[in-house]
Structure 1
Amino acid sequence: MYQHEVLIIFTKNPALGKVKTRLAKTIGDQKALAVYNQLLQLTQKTTATLPYLKIVYYDNFVDENDIWLNNSYSKKLQKKGSLGEKMYDAIDTAFNNKASKVVIIGSDCPEISPKIIIEAFNSLNKFDTVIGPANDGGYYLLGMSKFIPDVFKNKNWSTSTVKHDTISDLKNLNKSIHFLPELTDIDKEADYEKLKKLLN
């Protein structure tokens, strides 16, 4: 039943000065890297026992010896280009490989839970798409039951307009949307304070 339901996890290879750069401006590169490693561990823990085909997409190189165990996660490299081009490629590839549902998440949202991801997949039995809105104007989760290429075009990625523009596109295409609870992505120092409370 589950081998055709695909969970894609977008990550960055954790490297000093390359991750959580907005956060690093106020807390420094070293702390930002530590925060990102915490976020990766939380995402791994959240997804570890989920019954879907799980694929981790790395931004720089595929790491065969990290927290994403090879017997639980497939591993691939993100395509070069904008975030939209990377997501387009990953989701298109999954559907071309006979996925019936595809959900994509990042590794920036410590509040995401197994329950939310399961709700996302289940909602795709009734809805064309599912969105997990982030309170910065983006989204922490996107899912679809069929590939919708337009969602990944003509967006100002990593800005506060992404969620709004994505919803507009889907409505213009007459696609139904299931909305998940709004959560926080960790991008700024205020978000980091929230993360610290979550971890305590």
Structure 2
Amino acid sequence: MPAKMPIQRKPLPHLHLLAKAPLAGQAKTRLAPLLGESGAANAHAELVRHCVANACGALPAEQITLWTALDHTHPLFIELHNQYGLALRPQPDGDLGTRVRQALNSTPGPAMLMGSDCPSITSALITTCAQQLARYDVVILPAEDGGYGFVGTQQDYPALFTDIPWGTHTVLKTTQQRIQAMGLQAAYPATIWDVDRPEDWQRWKALALSV
């Protein structure tokens, strides 16, 4: 009998996480009216820990990089590195598009990126996105506010991250127009939400209590 051909498994995509150090007055400042500056920084630290735990629940730590900002040697980042073994790298200068594109292109093969303030992105959803990326050029998790909290790409697509109105409600729409113009195939597995405002934090805490 002829020998069976081995099953060719596609390599897992690398996952990149973006996170600021939880410095009072510089992280999650829009939560300060509810929590105070120190409370907002602590809330940010909680969200980063939750994000990293979900990422490590979906992929091996060697497939994950945490890109740091503000204070690259902050104790939170050292804690997460020691706990999970994931790599730490400083975010480069430039706008969000520049930082996202550089992170995605810093590792070979397909790559994914997510922010650290989207507690609705679960380990299961990250796994789904990784699976979808094996079949699509781009995978995006749209956010309720008109942006997106997660993007995966098969290769470098500069137009997806250049001249995008970051921080506005038209980020997703503009990105989808670019995807269509480039003739790419995209998947949108789920709509997510992030924590920016006091009502978002209250939503997150209510959800955590109900689990």
Which TM-score applies when normalising by structure 1? Answer: 0.91
Larger Rg, first or second structure (1 or 2): 2
Q: 1:117 aligns with which of 119, 126, 136?
A: 126
The aligned counterpart of 1:128 is 137
The aligned counterpart of 2:22 is 14
Superposition deviation, residue 141 in structure 1: 0.4
Asked if 1:150 is matched to 2:163, the reply is no
Q: Secondary structure at the match of 1:48?
A: helix
Q: Which runs of 5+ in 1 are unaligned?
A: none
Superposition deviation, residue 35 in structure 1: 1.2
Q: 1:58 aligns with which of 65, 68, 71?
A: 68
Deviation per residue, 1:39-67 (Å, 9 max, x gap): 01111211223334100000134336222
Structure 2 CA distance, aligned partners of 1:7 and 1:137? 23
Q: 1:80 aligns with which of 79, 89, 93?
A: 93
Q: 1:31 aligns with which of 36, 39, 56?
A: 39
Report how many residues are paired: 196
The root-mean-square deviation of aligned C-alpha atoms, in Å, is: 1.8
Deviation per residue, 1:130-182 (Å, 9 max, x gap): 00011111111000111111111011212211111111111110111100211
Asked if the contact 1:104–1:143 (Cα under 8 Å) also holds between the matched residues in 2, the reply is: yes
Structure 2 CA distance, aligned partners of 1:76 and 1:104? 14
Going from structure 1 to structure 2, the CA distance change for 1:2 and 1:62 (only over 3 Å counts) comes to: farther
* 1:39 counterpart letter in structure 2: L
Asked if the contact 2:12–2:130 (Cα under 8 Å) also holds between the matched residues in 1, the reply is: no
* 2:44 counterpart letter in structure 1: Y
Q: Secondary structure at the match of 2:174?
A: helix
Asked if the contact 2:139–2:188 (Cα under 8 Å) also holds between the matched residues in 1, the reply is: yes
The aligned counterpart of 2:6 is none
Deviation per residue, 1:88-131 (Å, 9 max, x gap): 2111222xxx2x21000010011111111111111112110000
Asked if the contact 2:10–2:134 (Cα under 8 Å) also holds between the matched residues in 1, the reply is: no
Greater per-residue helix proportion: 2
Q: Which runs of 5+ in 2 are unaligned?
A: 1-8
Asked if the contact 1:129–1:145 (Cα under 8 Å) also holds between the matched residues in 2, the reply is: yes
Going from structure 1 to structure 2, the CA distance change for 1:181 and 1:71 (only over 3 Å counts) comes to: closer
Asked if the contact 1:60–1:78 (Cα under 8 Å) also holds between the matched residues in 2, the reply is: no
Structure 2 CA distance, aligned partners of 1:2 and 1:76? 26
Q: Percent identity?
A: 24
Asked if the contact 2:140–2:148 (Cα under 8 Å) also holds between the matched residues in 1, the reply is: yes
Asked if the contact 2:17–2:66 (Cα under 8 Å) also holds between the matched residues in 1, the reply is: yes
Q: Secondary structure at the match of 1:57?
A: strand
